[in-house]
Every structure is written in structure tokens, then in C-alpha cells.
Structure 1
């Protein structure tokens, strides 16, 4: 509707009404006539036109014609009085009878003032004075004001000056407050049969008491008055238009039932101005209409209000409206319970919003209400939806038992939730998306039949000291760039998992407790990459952490313990980073990396797990650096089924079985570690195990520092292998090994033991100072090749060969065996010793007996008591050797021994 055109229409119609009143005012007595009836009709038509404006465009149009509310009220007065004139009734004011001429003069003055107001809007330069429009002098203005005061005294009726009536209404006049009674059945002249009549008769601060009954009216409250229902069934109802429209600053409605039965979409209650109060009222709507519309700049207070029915909205707040809704109930609305679409401050307290067919609360368009102590429940859609960059503040509220989700935050919205409870919702208790970033402080999100919290599409959020528990799916789900921060939260007793992060989800978790979830406490997959710091992750019924399908993540300073099944499981391309964590006391495996899983582990403590501390299998390939792996109830590290893995500068000790076990074609890199005090082996390579074991310090392991068996063939390079309670290296059952440059010393048994077709290649190594055993012991058909090794100062023989064993020694040096001989070959032992040096032994350099049959070739045997002693059916090929400086004999061959001992040199 075009404002200037409509302005002209109103102006013309008011002007025409003025002309009619002027004609009537010419006589002192107005008789019943066609003129009187015309006045009634004209005022009724003009009022109807303004009524229509108030229905469809009142708010927007009133901003352009500020006097519109006052004009409408005056037309109500004229319509009512004109109707009384038409019926021949006398008119009284303050108990005194006034004649028709006085009435006409009064209304004429009022209408001409409004006419002037409208002209001023057309031409602001025009000034108002009396009945004319012109530029006036200060003296003329003074005289006009004096005349108006005289008129007021004479007529005993209010005369309206340039001051707007709205200003007068907002300033109550003492001793003039009245109570008007409305009773539709009453015949008393002191009562009104309609509410509208009572409003017309009321003044500032008056109270209208409405007795029980159903009033079919459209009410416009345009002045600061109180409407109060008397009795339980005081009902105002209408089929179309607003049932109640409030267009004044201070009004109050209480103890009423307001009902609308219509298919239109016009609200039952329209509040477009001021700060009215609605107290202890019930608004019921059927059809399409909202219950209450709060708009413009109005700031009403709704206290103990019930709104139900309708198909769109229980309460709609828009434009820049605000106000308070307290102690109220919004229920069974066919659409949204409360729709807040205003950026102005609004407070909702102790209000229950339940069983609505769509959202319980819809907060949008940069709205930032405060919601305190409210309950939102049983709505068919999401309980609370926050969108359009809105930023509400929820305090101690409950959102529960929704047919869909509990809270949905989207479209870059924020919000703060303090001490709220979100529970028993059918889908997610809370969903955050679209870069929204709310804050949750000391909230509980629990018992969702779906998940607890779902964050996706770049949603964020800060969660501090919250409890997330007993949700049917994950307590927390994050995907698609979701990146929240959780601090000091308790995430426990999830019917499924505690936290699921997938599809490139992110997130930071600090100092939370994640416990007793039925599945893994944390699951990460499909390129998700969260950060976990200083959390307690424990008592998961199916594991602590599960990372798979290319999941990643950073874990720092967490404690991961007492999880059934596994502390950490990584598989199918999972590749996280763990630093400075404690993984302990899990009833099975501490860390399991399988099926092409990977990961980087730095400076963690992995201890006291009931089975293996670390298990890597089926092509797993992790990296472990500077970790402490100890006190496992089984092995420290097990690598099997073609795995790889890199282990650098770790401490692996005090595990019940081996420190490291390598098997089934696995091929790790194990470098610069300390592997000690394990109860069986330091390193055990078995079942075709491979790998590079380099630069490690392997010591004080109980049975053997290193055992190689069952076709295992690792590379041992530059290790220190010492102080075992048993052997330094034990190679058995077809074990192999490429053993280069190692230092093998001070082991309580032998330095190197080989048996059962063990066949290593040992080069450039030192084998020395075994305090209670020999340097090398090869037995039960052991094999092996030794090149350029230095075997010295062992308590027993530097080398013992027996039981059909047949090793090869080339360019080795046996020296300073001060308590025994250097080499002892017996019991059918064989072997080849060539190009070697045997020297400085207290007893025999080489002793051969009991069917032994070695080959001693091109070697030097010196500074022993006896260079070579062959006895008790010993045999052998002894050729091209140099024997010299031996104390008693260079070579002694007893009877019945037939070695081939040609081409030797004796000095």
C-alpha cells in the first residue's frame, strides 16, 4: 500500500467528517435527521478503513503517520457518541450532562488538530494555530493558548493542544484512575456489555474488569489501561483479524482466555508498541494463525501465559522487539513453539515449551535472547534451532524427549549454554554445523536414542566441564571439518562409543575423562585429524582408542588404561601421532597396529598391560621413538605377519616374555634402543622374522639377550649385547642371521650359542669376557659362519663345537683364554677354522677328541701350553698351519688318532 496515497485518503475522509460536524455545530440542538445518520455512517466507514490498515499494514504505516493510533481512538469515541445521538440518548461527562453543540465543538477541535498533523507531514513548514494554518507570531500563539485554556474550563472536557495525546496517556493523572466493569449479560447502566465500549470510556491507568463469559470482539488497546478477567471462564474470541492488538506503551492484560478460530494467518494477539504486560492468560488458536506476534520495537512481559494450537507459531518475536516471557507454557502448537527473529534483547525464564509439531524454539536472524530455567520437550522436530548468526544464552534449561534432535546450531551462529541438560532426544542431543561456534559450560548431554553431540560442516564449539553419557550412538560425533574444543568433560557409559571422528573431522580434547563406553572410547577414521591432550581414556568395554581407514590424530600427555580388549588399535591406513602418553594396565594389549596401520609414537610410557605391550602385524608400519616399554605381562613388542615398523631410542625392559619378538616375515628397523631385564629374551626373531637391529644396547635379559630360531634371518649390526643371565645370542632350530660388528660380552652363559641347524653369518664382532661361560658354543648340529671375529678372555673355551655341528671360522682371533683352552671340538664335532689366530691361552690352543673331525687350515697357533691336542679318537685335517711358541708342545696326537696333519710349520 502506497503511503502518500493512503495519507491523502485519510486526510480527505477526516476533512469530510469535519465539514459534517461543522454543519451540525451551527445549531444548539440537533434533531434526529438524515444528517445525523450520515455522520454515524461516515465515522463507521472511516473507522473500518483504519481497522483494515491495522490488520494488514498497521505497523509499517503507523511509522509514517505517527498520529494514526490517536485518530483511530478518537474515531471510536465519535462512532460511539454518534450512535448514542442517533438513539436520542443524552451524553454525560464527569457526571454532568453536556449538550450536542459542546460535543461537536470538542470533536471538531480534535479532528482539526489531526488534520493539521497530517498536513504537517506533507509540508513541515506549516505551523498549527487555532483553526487556520499559517506562519504565526509569538503573540498570536500566546493568545491561542489562552483561548484553549478558557475552552477547557468552560466545557469541562479535555482540549487537545499541540502536545500529542500519546504523551498525555503515558503520564497518569492522580485521583482519576477508575475501574470499569464489563458484563455481557448485565443491564446495569454502570456496566458495559462490550470490552470495546469500556476501552473507549477508559482513561490512563484505568482498570477494566471483565466478568465471566465469551466475548466475540476484536480488541485494540491504545491506552495504558489494565484488562482483567474475573472468573475462570472469561474468554475473548474472534474468527478473524487480531483478537487483541496492543498499540500503547503501558497496558496490562491478565486472567483471560483469548481464543481464535480461523483459517487466516493473522495472530490472535498482536503487540506492536510499548511495554505491555500479559499475565496469567491462555491463548488458544486453531487454524493457520500464530498465537502471539511481538513486533516493532515493543518489549512486552508475558508472565504465566499459556499458548497452544495453531499451525505456524505459538509466539513470534520479530523486527527489533524484545521483552520477557516468564513462567509460561507453549504447547501443542502445530508449528514452532517460539520463533525469535529479533536482534534485540529478550529474556525467557522458567517457561515450558512442549509437544509442538515443529521446533520448540527457533532462534534466527542474529537473535540473542537469554533463556533461563526453561524446559523444552516432546516437540516433533528439533527442540531448539539456532540459525542465522544468532547468539542466545541458555542458563539452567532442559531440552529433552524430542522426536528429532535436542539442539541444532547452524548458519554461523554462536550461543552460550550454562548448566543445561539435553537428554532423551531421538536423534542427536546437539548438532552444530556451518562454522557455528557455541559455548557449553557444565552441561549434561545424555540418554539420546541417537548420538549425544554431532558436529560437522565446519562446526565448532567450546565444551567445558560437561557430562556426555549413556547415548545410544557415539557420545560425540565429528565430521566434515567440524573442529570443537572439549575441556574437562566426562564422556562415559556410551551405549556405543565415546567419541567418533571421521570424514576429515577435527577437534581438540583437553583434560577430559573418556570411560566405560561399550565400544571404543575414541574412534577416528577417514582422514579425521583431531588433537587429544591430557585426557583420561579408560575402562572402554571394547578398547580405548580405535584409529582406522586413514584416520589420523595427535595424542599428547593422555593416560590410556584399563580398557578391555585393547588400549589402542590402529589399522587400515590409520596414522596418528602419540607423544608423552601413558598406556598401561589394559587387560589385553596396550597398542595393536594391524592391516597396514601406521603411526608415530614419541616419548610415551607403555607398561603393565596384561598381554603384549605393543603388537604390530599384517603389514603394520609404525614408528616408535624414545618410548619406555616396560612391565608387560607378556612381550614388550611383537611384530608378526609381514609387518615393518621403526623403533628408535626406546627403553624396553622388565617384560615377562621377550622385549621384542619378530616373526612371520616381519622386517622392522630397531635402532639405538635399550633392551634390558626382560624375563626371557631381549630380542627374539622367529618364524622367518627379519629386520635390522642396529646400534642397540641389549643387556641383562634373563635367558638370552637375543634368540634367533625357525628360519628367522635378522640383521644385527653394531649392537652391544651383554650381561644376560643366559646367553648373549642364541641361534637355534634353523635360525639364521646376519650379525655384523656387534660387541658380545659379560653374559653369564656363552656369548654366542648355536644349535639345531642354526646357521648365522657373524662378522667383525667381538665375543669376550663371559664370566662363567665360553665365547661360542655350537652344538646339536649347529652351523654358522664367523668372519674376522675377535673372541677373547672368556672363562671357558673361546669356541666349543660338538654333536655333529659344523661351523666355519675365517680370519678370526682367539686370545687370552686364561682359564681354559681357546677351541674345544669334541663329540663328533666338525667345523672349518682357517686363516685364524689362536694365541695366549692357558691350556690347549685347539683340543680335538671323541670322534671330532674338524679342518684347521692356514691358522697360527701360539703362546699356549699345547698348540693342538688330538686324542680319544679325534681326527681332522690339520694343514698349512703355523704352530710356535707353545709352552710344552706345538701338536700332540695320541695313539689310535689318525688326523691328516701335513704341511704344518712348527717353530
Structure 2
């Protein structure tokens, strides 16, 4: 017998039922009841498998309860409701209640009460609207199933959808919005699979998971939750074999949460993959309690606190995840938590990119951190840190900072630019291996007071002060390390410092290779020191170092020793040293004879050099003559600087005339060769100063024309009587050439201070007068500050009467600088890369941090690095791939 169709028409006289209840009582299972448009004040009990349909389409049939507090619809069988509008009077009560079977609501509008399924009932809601309820919009407290497809739940004073008990929920392509509580709440032992849904504007959480529930959140958008977008207080443990259990979030985005974007707390077990978390009011992702958290290929941007927090006794695994723009740390691991972080990038954070504190343990592998005003990676308190093949760049403090009693093991790390390289102040066990540090503003490696770190096979190049600094009472061990191209000394040891230094190589330092400070000790064996501006080894008063088998090469002096020092020297040698205290290798005296066990010592003179005299001719190598036309051509090919080039050319003509008058026996006109170079950083001041010296030598007005660079630290001493000798020493190094003092305005003491800068200025003024024909002094710095500097001393104003203004590079000139570097290093820019470079420099802010030529050089360097990563992923790159720079190789835009 086929299903029957019944009609409900309130005004019909026959052939139809006047009430829906009458039609239900008359119907058999599988029958269909078609309801005419109108309002039906009835309480319906559906106890058979029937279908109720709005005959004239959705919205034309309105069912209203007749008894306050009772459901308008109660279903205890497998029934279908299609196109019905159900209006309730008490939003806090169930309006549609399913107690057994499977009820399906299709294109229905339920307002003024919730839809609820209990016991073993199942509920399917398709393309419907549930609104204006209290406590919950949809509640499945059952062992059955809840299906929500293409449905809107909105305007609820409570939770949008609640799944509890042992129910299984499937939410697909649905939206929950404008609810005062959480958007979706899953608790008990329930399971929910939520796909392509939107949860927005919730008064509490977007998704709340509790107890032993399990949730899959796939390609969903959670927006503007007042609290955490996802809050997991507990969950069924995630099975490692089949991926069941826990909370799994895949794809989609979490934006605008008032608190953390995603919080795993309590016993929560959360896996987040390929998800974007943006603009959270607190942490982007947080794990607390005993939670387990795994992040894979996620993007966490603009967090109001830290990007990722792991604390309590939580455990986290973070893989190939990017954290950017956090208002706190990029990643914070604290208390007793454990974290393993592999790959990925952390950058542009307000605090340190990664911080490990408390008694937490963190393992970092192939992580890149950059652009932070604090440390790149830091560990403090009793944190335990393991690093392997990590990178840190452009950190305002240290690339790696260890403090408190932190324990650290480092095997492979690169630190580029920033203030310091690696700072080890921890009193815990610290072992650092294979670290590469380049172009930091201050020290490369720093060992804090009372620390005893171990450094093996570490390299420091381009440190702005010393390569390695050993603080008071520190006792580090350095094995097979190397320091080169430092502005200050290679290795500096403070009072009571007691390092063990084995096979250290130091080269090209602006000061000493090894400086053993007052009262310092230490053992230094089989080290090689070369090309140092000051004596290769300086031993200060009361210092007692042990120097064994050191080799000093290619420098002016090998050793200087202050009065009261007691170094123990055995087997040390000097080769190609102008003033040698130690014998040449295989000899008993400087230059000849048999090797001796202990070298003779010399006491330092006023400038801290070893005693003894040498003729000026013996102290200087022959300087080859250069052609003036070639030097002017070299000046002419520099990018930009047209005004400077014209000024230098005019000066050359003037000085050639002076030279001719002197050769003719005529009196030379009064002429000051000292200059002020005024300009912002990176505008070529040092380059032009070096060329200017060579040009003056070619004209015959300087003997050598070499350049000696100095700054405040080179000239100003730390105690009374120290500044004058320091300044004189630097000045004497520049005899016959150019003394270039960068940031010269820093010598001007602040008002009311007891700074020694004024003594350095006074000493300079006198020396410039005494040696007016032997040295050219160039002072450089920002234009406004240089004006104040010249005005600070009448002697300066009379000696620096000419200022050369170095203007900022414009965009075409910056592009030319990049092309110049590319040509020198055998790279080629495509036309599109050149156009992109123009747009990149146009978008670059020209504020105080803008580096002009240095910015162009750093941009080129970043392009080569990104090109290397890109080419490395090619299966079989050819030669064109290896040398071509494309638009995608540009760094991220400012």
C-alpha cells in the first residue's frame, strides 16, 4: 500500500483536516501531511514516521504552542518537517523536542526556543534557521546523531549548539553568530565533525570542548569571539595510530578573538594544521595544564600577547609554523612545559622571539628568528634549551641569550646583524658548537660573570666591538674558534676572568688580538693572531695569564705588557712582525737563533705598546704610487654623490695649485685640508674618505694616504689620564694618512657631565696643530649633530672650515647599487626583478633606521639568500637558474 497524502486546511469543510494534530492521528507511517498557509496554535505530538510539509513553501505555515513552557513540537518517531515556522513564547524552554527516532527539519524557521534531542534520538537540521533562544539554540544530549547542514543559528542568549552525552554531531556549511555564550560546545564523550562552518560574534568562545569529547574542525572560520576562539579544557586522548580522539583543527582561520586564538588547557589534546590565527587579543595559540598541542604549517599573526605559549606541564610540537607581529614573545615556553619546535619562522615580535623560562624544556631545530627589539632566542631561570641549525637575524639585543641557571646545548646556529651574537650569562651548563656570528654591533660571544660556558668551533666576523668578551670571574672554555674583522679586540678578558682558550684564531682586529685585563688569568694555547691594529697580545697590570705556543703574524707588534703584569710565556713566536718581542719560529731571538722556552717581556710605553724603538722607515712598508687620474675615475664611478664628487674635484685642483706653488718656492696659501662629512648612514662617507686619502697621496700632500677609522670607543678612556694616550695612539697610527672619526659628535659631553670626551677633543685639536702637514682629519656624522659638534669647541671651528654634504640615495641610485653588487658577485637581475626592486625601494620608509647604501647591500644579500632557497628546491637547476635574481627573491616588503 503506497503512502497517503493528507491535507490540512483550517477552513475546509471536507476532504481535509482542520488541525495538524488531527491529520497526524489519522496518518500511518510514511504518510505525508501537506499544511496550507496559516497560523496553527497547536501542540503537536508526532509519534509516527510522517512528513509535515508547508504546502505553499517555507515560511507560510506558523506553528505556535498553546501551553506555555511546553514544546510546540515533540517528536518520538522518525519524522520530517519541511518549510515550517515554529514560534515559541518561552525562549528558555525546548520548542522542538525529539525524544526518539530521527527527526529531520528541512528549511524550517525555529524562533523563541531551542531545538533539542534527548536519549537515543537523532536530529537532522538542513538549511534552516534557529534563532531567539535562551541557554542553547540546538542541544543534542543523546547517544544518537546531530546533523546540521547549511543552517543558521543566531541571536541566542546562551550557546549556539551544544553536543553532550555520547552524541555524534556533523556540522557542515553552517553558521553560528551573535550568541552570548559559546558558539559550539562539545562535552561529555560526544564527538563532533565540523566542516566549512562559520562561528562569529560570540560572547564567549567560538568552540568550547570539555571532558572526554572529540572534535574535528575542518576549513572553518571562527571570528570575533569575546574570549578564546577555541577553548579545549579536556578531550579524549588522540590515538597516534588512527588519528582519532582529541581536537583536530585543519585549515580555515581564527581571527579577532578577545583572548587567545586557540587555548589547549586541562587534559586537552589538540592538533592544528595549516590554520591561520590572526589578531588575537591575547596569545595566538596557548597550551596550559597538562595539555598536548601540535601545530603544523600554521600562520600566527598579530597576537596581542605571545604568538605561542606553552606552560604548566603542557607538551607542544610546533612544525613549519610562522609567528609574526606578536605583542609579546613569538614563542614562550615556561613553568614545567616541554616543546619541540622544528622549522618555521618567528619575526617582528615586541619581546624576544623565543623565550624559555621556569623549568621548561625546549628543543629548536632549523628555526629562523628575525626582527625583534630584544633577544632572538633566550633561556632564563632553570630552562633547558637545545638548538640545532637555527638562525637569528636583526635582533635588538642578542641572537642567543642565556641567563639564570639555564642549561643549553647548541649544535649549529647562525647570528647575523643585531646588537650581540651569543650572550652566555647562565651559571648552568652551557655547550655551544658550530655557531657563526657576523656583523653584530657589539660583541660576538659574551661570557657573563661567574659563568663557565663551552664554545667549540665557533666563528665571529665583523663584531662592532670585541669578538669574544669574558666578564669578571667567568671561566669559559673556547676550542677551535675563530675571530676576524672586529672593530675592537679579538678576545677581551676582564678582571678575575679565567678562560681556557685552545687553538683560537684571531685576524684583522681594530685593537688587540688578545687583551688580558687587569687581574685576569687564563690559559691560552696554540693560538694564532694576525693583522691586529694594536699589539697582538696585551697583558694589563696584575694579570697572570699562561701563554703557550702562540703564533703572531703580519702585525706591527706581538706583545705589550703593563707594569705589574706576570704572564707565563712558553714557546710563543712571531713572524713578519715589525716590533717583535717573541722570536721567529725556530729561533732563539727575533729573527734568528734557536727557539727558547720563555720569551722575554717588554713593559708597555705610554700608548700601551711594547717597549723598544724602531725607525719610521722600518715600521712602514713601501706604499706603491697611484695615478691621480685613475683615482678620480674610481671616484667618478661611485653611484650618486654628484655634489661630493664636484667638491672633491675642486679640492684636488686647489691642492695641485698649492703643490705647484711650493715646488716653485712660493708661499702656500692658508688651506685647511681637514673636512666634515655630513650625511646619514650608508651614504658612502667612509668610501670617499679612503679615496680622498689616496688622492692626497697621489697629489703629494700626504706620505701614505692610508685610512685609520676611529670612533668614541677608540679615543675616550674609562678613567682619568686614560683618554690622552688613547687619542694620541690612534692619531699616530694615522700619520701620513687620514684619520676618519665616525659619529664624531658622540665626543661632545652632555651638559653637566664628567665625560672624558672633551679631553679627547682637546687632544685632537692640539695634535692637528702640531702635525698639520702630516695628517688629514675627517669627522663624520648626521648633519645637524655635526653642526653642534663643530660649535662645541673654538679650535674645531677654525680647523674644520669645509663641509661635504652626503645626500641620501634616491631609488634609481639604490637600484644601481644592487646591480653593482650583483655584477661583482656574478648575478643577473631580470627586467621584472629590476622593476620590482624599484617598487620595493619606493615603499621602503626613509626614517632614521634607513641605511641608504647599506640598505641596498642588505637587500642584495637577502635576495641571494632567498634565491638560494628557491634554487635548492629545483630538481635540476641550470647555470641560468644559479645566477638569475627574480622578483620572488626580493625580501618581504617593509
CA contact 1:182–1:208 (8 Å) conserved in 2: no
Residues 1:577 and 1:595: Cα distance change in structure 2 (over 3 Å) = closer
Match of 1:525? 357
Give the drift of 1:631: 3.7
CA contact 2:464–2:486 (8 Å) conserved in 1: yes
How many aligned residue pairs are there?
591
Residues 1:696 and 1:685: Cα distance change in structure 2 (over 3 Å) = same
Matched, 1:655 2:486: yes
1:157-168 alignment to 2 at 5 Å?
Answer: none
Residues 1:597 and 1:591: Cα distance change in structure 2 (over 3 Å) = farther
Match of 1:831? none
Matched, 1:188 2:18: no
Q: What is the rounded CA distance, in whole Å, between the counterparts of 2:588 and 2:191 in structure 1?
A: 79
CA contact 2:506–2:513 (8 Å) conserved in 1: no
Q: Deviations over 1:274-298 (max 9, x none)?
A: 3332111122235xxxx11123333
TM-score by length of 2: 0.62
Residues 1:689 and 1:580: Cα distance change in structure 2 (over 3 Å) = farther
Partner of residue 272 from structure 1, selected from 99, 117, 124? 99
Match of 1:696? 526
1:45-444 alignment to 2 at 5 Å?
Answer: 173-174=1-2, 176-183=3-10, 186-229=11-54, 230=56, 232=59, 234-238=61-65, 239-249=68-78, 251-262=79-90, 266-285=93-112, 291-413=114-236, 414-444=246-276
Larger Rg: 1
Q: What is the rounded CA distance, in whole Å, between the counterparts of 1:563 and 1:377 in structure 2?
A: 37
CA contact 1:477–1:499 (8 Å) conserved in 2: yes
Match of 1:547? 379
Residues 1:521 and 1:689: Cα distance change in structure 2 (over 3 Å) = farther
Give the drift of 1:488: 0.7
Q: What is the rounded CA distance, in whole Å, between the counterparts of 1:389 and 1:705 in structure 2?
A: 71
Q: What is the rounded CA distance, in whole Å, between the counterparts of 2:122 and 2:135 in structure 1?
A: 22
RCO higher in 1 or 2 (8 Å CA, sep ≥ 6)? 2
Q: What is the rounded CA distance, in whole Å, between the counterparts of 2:548 and 2:517 in structure 1?
A: 23
Q: What is the rounded CA distance, in whole Å, between the counterparts of 2:184 and 2:404 in structure 1?
A: 43
Matched, 1:562 2:394: yes
Residues 1:553 and 1:561: Cα distance change in structure 2 (over 3 Å) = same
Aligned-CA RMSD value: 3.1
Give the drift of 1:683: 4.0
CA contact 1:744–1:768 (8 Å) conserved in 2: no
1:654-733 alignment to 2 at 5 Å?
Answer: 654-663=485-494, 665-680=495-510, 683-685=513-515, 687-688=517-518, 690-703=520-533, 706-711=536-541, 713-732=543-562
Q: Deviations over 1:747-792 (max 9, x none)?
A: 5134438xxxxxxxx9xx98655489x97573666999x9xxxxxx
Q: What is the rounded CA distance, in whole Å, between the counterparts of 1:302 and 1:180 in structure 2?
A: 24
Match of 1:607? 438
Matched, 1:626 2:457: yes
Q: What is the rounded CA distance, in whole Å, between the counterparts of 1:398 and 1:606 in structure 2?
A: 42
Q: Deviations over 1:706-752 (max 9, x none)?
A: 432543614124242332423332224x4624324342232513443
Residues 1:671 and 1:234: Cα distance change in structure 2 (over 3 Å) = same
Give the drift of 1:434: 2.7
Give the drift of 1:459: 1.3
Partner of residue 481 from structure 1, selected from 305, 313, 317? 313
CA contact 1:682–1:701 (8 Å) conserved in 2: no
Q: What is the rounded CA distance, in whole Å, between the counterparts of 2:590 and 2:513 in structure 1?
A: 21
CA contact 1:743–1:767 (8 Å) conserved in 2: no
Q: Secondary structure at the match of 2:8?
A: strand
CA contact 2:140–2:167 (8 Å) conserved in 1: no
CA contact 1:415–1:438 (8 Å) conserved in 2: yes
CA contact 2:7–2:36 (8 Å) conserved in 1: no
Q: What is the rounded CA distance, in whole Å, between the counterparts of 1:747 and 1:737 in structure 2?
A: 26
Give the drift of 1:416: 1.1
Give the drift of 1:690: 1.2
CA contact 1:236–1:259 (8 Å) conserved in 2: yes
Q: What is the rounded CA distance, in whole Å, between the counterparts of 1:182 and 1:337 in structure 2?
A: 35
Q: Secondary structure at the match of 1:388?
A: coil
CA contact 1:441–1:465 (8 Å) conserved in 2: yes
Structure 1: 5+ residue stretches without partners: 1-172, 754-761, 787-795, 797-907
CA contact 1:521–1:544 (8 Å) conserved in 2: yes
Match of 1:583? 415
Q: Deviations over 1:328-383 (max 9, x none)?
A: 11222222211112445431011111222222111122222210011112222222
TM-score by length of 1: 0.61
Matched, 1:502 2:334: yes
CA contact 1:521–1:537 (8 Å) conserved in 2: yes
Q: What is the rounded CA distance, in whole Å, between the counterparts of 2:61 and 2:589 in structure 1?
A: 109
Give the drift of 1:526: 1.8
